[in-house]
Every structure is written in structure tokens, then in C-alpha cells.
Amino acid sequence: MNGRPISGASTGARGRGGKSFSALILGALLLTVTACGGGGGDGDAKDKDSGKAAAKQSQAVVTIAPKDGAKGVDTGGALKVTAAKGTLSQVRVEDPKGREIAGTITGGGASWTPSTHLAAATTYKVHAVAKDASGLAATADSSFTTLTPKNTFVGVYTPDNGSTVGVGMPFSVRFSRGITHPADVEKAITIKTEPAVEVRGHWFGNDRLDFRPEDYWKPGTKVTVNLNLDGVEGRPGVYGEQARTVSFTIGRSQVSTVDAKAHTMVVKQDGKVVKTLAVTTGKPGYDTWNGQMVISERQVVTRMNGETVGYGGEYDIKDVPHAQRLTDSGTFIHGNYWGGDAFGNYNASHGCVGLRDVKGGYDSSVAAAWFYNHSMLGDVVIVKNSHDATVAPDNGLNGWNMPWDQWIK
């Protein structure tokens, strides 16, 4: 053998300049690692970016009262949102069902307060946004729970939800407790009508609030009442517990005028006379009230006992037919089967308006049956030419006897 290397074998190949191929590859890798490592120059750029972000932070400060997580919060006056070094641009307060509480931003954007009271035993979420002079926004969020009252009140109202009533029917609420904060309670009851008409409330004492328009309702009017009493403080430490909507419709107009002197009643529907009926009213010493009265109760048959109205022992009739109440004090317009020839001739009752009827009220052709069958709750009965005074506005649903300027005081 002559000592030549076998073809294709290598003893450590070298490139030009004496550097090995492996060394070149290692150098390239080191260069790559250095380029991807992020040196001090890049770190300075990040610090500058952080400084810019800090400089862009809003100067506005939002404060929500009550504080986050508060319990037993009062339903009125406790909730308030304020902004310092900026102005409020948005405040949203929601109950657990997502219903928003209306409110007003005041003081040029310095504060927000709710437009109404809050419901009792309810958790609310608050989200507020304020902007500083540069337009940068700051936000705040909070959640709190209102008190659970130990003492409550309710309002018993008329007419019923879904009913159709006559043109004289007010919306009347009688409260289970005397109200000493009437403005707060009245504010919690809102009424909308279609077509629109002004409806105002009037207090009778401290436990009754009636609403009506200036004149009788227009037939066909749809009335919607929102009773937002839940959480309203009606008297110190006593809170409402109702939150419901009541709707009713005004039917055709029926206004009947009783002339106690002529012993007649003229019935008008939608302004036209449809019937003239013979009546008897209160005899001397028991005269029927004058004035505008509204039918507030209807009974096909009822018992009338003089003891319930201060006439003990004078009468006790167990089956008075076709009875319709006109006053709380006991005035009815009703069927009378014992009156003989009094109808149309003389006054013989203890203050009620009597119409001819039969015992048992089975005869639909008699005057009392006709009037009953053509009447509804809320119809108006006007009595004139009686020797008694005008009925008091709070004796029954008879606020129409109060002039409008007094009603709205």
C-alpha cells in the first residue's frame, strides 16, 4: 500500500482561513441567540411606554354610597353617587331582575340621586362612570342590600284590575296604616290614561287617597295605575309592601238624575235619555242626600238593618232586591216591594232611593230590575231638590262634590 487515504474519507476537513465548518455554525447560532435576547435598549422603550400609560390615567374619582357589600340600607335617601375631579357621565342601578332605577345627574355632573325610593329586601348593583377634564373615564362598581322592614302597610284599592266601570269611578286607595309621609306615598302611585287626561290625587284624612280627572271620565278611556309602594316609608319605620299594576277601562256613560220633589229619575246614557222611572226618596226627617253619588257596590239581594245606620228597631228587611250602594253611610238605590203607591207620588224611605220591585226580585220588567241590569260600578246618580245637605266628598266614592280647585290643593 502506498499510504493514500481511502477515497471519500476525511481527517477533519477545513475551509479557507483555517477555520473549521463546525466553528462557523456555532458562531452563527450564538449570533442568533444574542439578536433574540432583548438588550438594555429595548427595556428602556418599555419603561417609556409604562410612563405614557400612567400619564393617561383619569383624574376623576367616583364615590358610591352606601359602600360595597352594605346590608340593611334604608330605601330612601341612602343611595348617592358623586364625582370629584370630574363629572358623572353614566350611572346605572339595577335590581336582581335587571330593572333599572331612574335617577338624575345634578350639580353639573357632581352627583346622581334616584328619582324614587328603592324596594325593601332587595340587592342592587351600581355601575358609575365619570370623566375628567381630558375626557378620560374612571369607573366604580358597588352592590348593597336594602332593609327588611318589621312593620308594613298595604293599600286596598278600587276598582279591580281588569274591570270596566262607569264614568264616575275614581281610583281610590285605603291604607291599612295612617300615613304621615303623604307626599312620598302619593309620588309612588302613578297613573297613565289613554287618551291622556290630567289625573290628580286628594287625601281624605291620613288613610285614604282618591284620584280623578277634573270632569267625569271620557267613555272608552283606558287607565293604568302603577302602585310602587314596596319600600316607601309611609310613616316612621312602616314601609309599603305592594308593587303591582292595575288597569281598568271606562265603559259607556250613564248619569241618572233623581228629583226628590218630582219623585222621578231620568236615566241618560251617552247624553241621551233612555228611561224615566218613578221613585221614592227619604221622608221628612230622613231626607236623602243631595249631590253626585257613585255606585260603589252591587247586590242582587241584601239585608238592610236599621241598627247598622243608627235607626235601630225601625226596620230589618232580610231580602232587599237589586241594591246598589251610593254612600258609606248607608244610602242605596234599591228595589222596594213594600212601598205601595209611594213611587212617583211621595217620599217614604229612610234616606234611600227606592224603585218599584217584587219580593224575590224575579220580575225583570219592573223598574228596579231594569235599572240594576243597566247599571255598573262607577255609574253616577245625582240627587237634587231634597231637603238634606250635599253629600260629603268622602262619604262613598263621591269626590265629584268637591270643586277642582279644592281637590288639587
Catalytic residues: 334, 352
Residue 2, φ and ψ in degrees, nearest 5: -100, 0
Q: Helix, strand, coil shares of the chain as percentages rounded to 5?
A: 15, 40, 45
| Complete edge-to-edge strand list for the sheet that includes strand 87-94 | 87-94, 123-131, 137-145
Q: Evaluate the omega torsion of the peptide bond into residue 236 and state whether it is cis, within 30 degrees of 0.
A: no
391 phi-psi bin (left φ>0, alpha ψ -120 to 50, beta other): beta
The answer to whether 350 and 389 are in contact (CB under 8 A) is: no
What are the beta bridge partners of residue 273?
Answer: 268
| Spatial distance between the Cα atoms of 382 and 268, rounded to a whole number of angstroms | 11
Q: In sequence order, what DSSP letters do the residues of 343-383 get, joined into one string?
A: TTT---BSSSEEEE--TTS--TTSHHHHHHHT--TT-EEEE
C-alpha cell at 274: 233612555
| Spatial distance between the Cα atoms of 404 and 220, rounded to a whole number of angstroms | 22
- Give 51's contacts (C-beta < 8 A, 6+ positions apart): none
Q: Evaluate the omega torsion of the peptide bond into residue 66 and state whether it is cis, within 30 degrees of 0.
A: yes
